[in-house]
A and B are shown apart, each in its own frame.
Chain A
Amino acid sequence: MFDLRPPARASFAALWVLGQATLVLTAGLRSDHIFAFRMFSEASTLDIHLSRDTKDFNVPAPRGEWAARDAAGQLRHFSWRDRVRDPVLESVDVPMFASYGLDAQLARLQHALDDVADNIEQDDETLRLRADVLVSKNGREPTAVTLLSHVRRER
């Protein structure tokens, strides 16, 4: 099976080269640029601050922890880290090195916000999660970026 005949070798090689070239040339279409071999692409940092939008207020979630009532009115504790274990994304309120660049980390954070919003069924107060992120690209002055999870069902 692995001993290809000469004509098949040429076809395999052509497909391989074409595939690799496609992965590299289309890197810009993927927010995290995976399979594009952009080594040490940035030296950027991000500092994530989480909060949650409720019916009336925006309530901070320091260190990614918060308490909210469930449908029965009982107070429950929630933690961002219960769902998010990625070493960069789990670090809230601490400046972190954005490995693979800011685009990659912000895209991951957006997906993480949606994921956590989908997995806090017992939180009957939070309408959506919000991340205010201070990003510094390659040592430049930090700028603020805000990401919002999708809106959970109306409560």
Chain B
Amino acid sequence: MLDVLRRWRDEVGDTHALGAARVGLGVLLFANALRAASELKAGYFGDFFHWPVLPEALVSDRNVYAFLVMGQMLLSAFVVAGHRARGALCLSALIGLYVMLCDRLQFHNNRAALFFYSLLLSFSPCDRAFSVTTASGPLWAARLAQFQLSFIYVASGGSKLFDADWRSGRVLFERFVLFGPNAIGGGVPEKIVRWASHPDFASALAKIAIATELGLAVALWSRRARAVGLWWGVWFHLAIEISSRVEGFTWLTLTIYALFSTPDLRARKLYYDPFRRGSRMIARAVAWLDWLGRFEVKSWVPDSLRKGHSVVVIRRDGTLATGLGAAAMLARCIPVLFPFWAPLALAASFTRGGDASARS
């Protein structure tokens, strides 16, 4: 046990995923500051009913609050740019937490999570990727941010598990009843809403939701279950995003998912045929979308093996993937394609040299 803790404390690795997570957090911090600015335009919270956790004397006045909101905007730009990013992350988090303590009506789980993650990542070398400096450093704070995500899953799933109304599906059923008309208004077919509003469906879904949250808290740490866990989690959060208003929580969680990727920069290779337009386009798209730095993209001179293939992927273990297998490999490693990974991998498993047992 002590050994595990020591390894966690001293682990050093590639920080590319940390850089990607930093940029994601920066964008979300900017969106949060923009929302605060627009609310400030409508009126300063202190001029109306507010409920501070702090003593009233410590609640910022209008001018200080306006300054803090502007400061948050500026700091988020520093975070995205990677210039003095760690200080900017820390300050953004502290200002955000302070504002929530000034008025607990402004508390939202997604905002608290955003500031907690920002604070934790400020202790990680998240400024070394997507910038000009070296891309390796200690990962303990990144692991702590991952722990925070699991902790949120346990807190959320645990509170549902101990709530009889949640377990039975009553809460979900009632949510479907209350918000069904909104969904129909938003373009969801009435038939689907009516089907989803059935008590048996709500009951089954409640159990799946609780199992998902508690399961993800564990699966994300397992080397074998991680990829499937991440894939399931992505769809879980996308489904919540479509059906509920959660501010930036979906994008925040998916940003933190980046930290669960194995820290191995350019460990896979993507070879493409420079004489084919389609091939060149795939290579360019991969170079653009490979935010976690999984692939080294190279052109080849076509030979007898590669003839007929637009792209060939060389996995981390040196095995080759082409066709559907290569597509599954790309989907597994490129964040925006990741939701399609499992069906592609399943389809690839039925082809020769498929990807169902892909070791990446």
A10 to B4, CA, bound (A): 12
Any chain A CB within 8 A of the CB of B156?
yes
Verify A43–B172 contact, CB threshold 8 A. Answer: yes
Any chain B CB within 8 A of the CB of A55?
no
Verify A2–B86 contact, CB threshold 8 A. Answer: yes
Chain B residue numbers with a CB within 8 Å of A115 are 49
Could you tell me which residues of chain B, from 1 to 31, have a CB within 8 Å of some CB in chain A?
Answer: 5, 9-10
A39 to B157, CA, bound (A): 8
Select which of A10, A17, A45 is within 8 A of B9 by beta carbon: A10
A83 to B49, CA, bound (A): 5
Verify A40–B90 contact, CB threshold 8 A. Answer: no
Verify A41–B159 contact, CB threshold 8 A. Answer: yes
Any chain A CB within 8 A of the CB of B105?
yes
Verify B107–A45 contact, CB threshold 8 A. Answer: no
Verify A85–B174 contact, CB threshold 8 A. Answer: no
A4 to B140, CA, bound (A): 10
Could you tell me which residues of chain A, from 91 to 141, have a CB within 8 Å of some CB in chain B?
Answer: 97, 108, 111-112, 115-116, 137-139
Verify B122–A2 contact, CB threshold 8 A. Answer: yes
Any chain A CB within 8 A of the CB of B184?
no
Verify A9–B178 contact, CB threshold 8 A. Answer: no
Chain B residue numbers with a CB within 8 Å of A83 are 48-49
A32 to B108, CA, bound (A): 11
Select which of B48, B53, B125, B140 is within 8 A of A13 by beta carbon: B140
Verify B171–A97 contact, CB threshold 8 A. Answer: no
Select which of B49, B90, B244 is within 8 A of A2 by beta carbon: B90
Verify B49–A9 contact, CB threshold 8 A. Answer: no
Chain B residue numbers with a CB within 8 Å of A4 are 123
Verify A139–B173 contact, CB threshold 8 A. Answer: yes
Chain B residue numbers with a CB within 8 Å of A40 are 171, 175, 244
Any chain B CB within 8 A of the CB of A56?
no
Chain A residue numbers with a CB within 8 Å of B90 are 2
Verify A85–B48 contact, CB threshold 8 A. Answer: yes
Any chain B CB within 8 A of the CB of A37?
yes
Verify B49–A139 contact, CB threshold 8 A. Answer: no
Any chain A CB within 8 A of the CB of B190?
no
Could you tell me which residues of chain A, from 21 to 49, have a CB within 8 Å of some CB in chain B?
Answer: 24, 27, 32, 34-45
Given A13-B140, A16-B144, A32:B122 Cβ within 8 A: no
Any chain A CB within 8 A of the CB of B120?
yes
A64 to B173, CA, bound (A): 32
**Which of under 10, 10 to 19, 20 to 34, or 35 or more describes the interface residues of B?**
35 or more
Select which of A36, A45, A86, A137 is within 8 A of B178 by beta carbon: A45
Verify A38–B156 contact, CB threshold 8 A. Answer: yes
Chain A residue numbers with a CB within 8 Å of B94 are none
Chain B residue numbers with a CB within 8 Å of A12 are 123
Chain A residue numbers with a CB within 8 Å of B105 are 86, 108
Given A2-B86, A2-B90, A9-B9, A116:B49 Cβ within 8 A: yes
Given A10-B9, A34-B107, A43:B156 Cβ within 8 A: no
Closest residue of chain A to B89, judged by CB? A2
Chain B residue numbers with a CB within 8 Å of A108 are 51, 105
Most buried by A among B51, B100, B122: B51
Closest residue of chain B to A88, judged by CB? B105
CB distance from B105 to the nearest CB of A (A): 5
Select which of B86, B123, B148, B174 is within 8 A of A138 by beta carbon: B174
A138 to B206, CA, bound (A): 14
Chain A residue numbers with a CB within 8 Å of B51 are 108, 111
Select which of B138, B159, B177 is within 8 A of A36 by beta carbon: B159
Any chain B CB within 8 A of the CB of A6?
yes
Verify B120–A16 contact, CB threshold 8 A. Answer: yes
Select which of B9, B144, B147 is within 8 A of A6 by beta carbon: B9
A75 to B104, CA, bound (A): 35
List the 5 shortest-distance A-B pairs measured between CB atoms, nearest first: A43-B174, A139-B174, A37-B155, A38-B159, A43-B175
Known: A13-B9, A34-B104, A40-B244; 15 extra A-B contacts, CB below 8 A, are A2-B122, A20-B151, A35-B107, A36-B155, A37-B156, A39-B156, A41-B171, A42-B165, A43-B178, A85-B42, A108-B51, A111-B51, A137-B165, A138-B165, A138-B174
List B residues at the A interface (Cβ < 8 Å). 5, 9-10, 42-43, 45, 48-49, 51, 53, 86-87, 90, 100, 104-105, 107, 109, 112-113, 120, 122-123, 125, 138, 140-141, 144, 147-148, 151-152, 155-156, 159-160, 163, 165-166, 170-175, 177-178, 244
A–B pairs, 7, beta carbons within 8 Å:
A2-B90, A13-B144, A37-B151, A38-B109, A41-B159, A85-B45, A138-B174
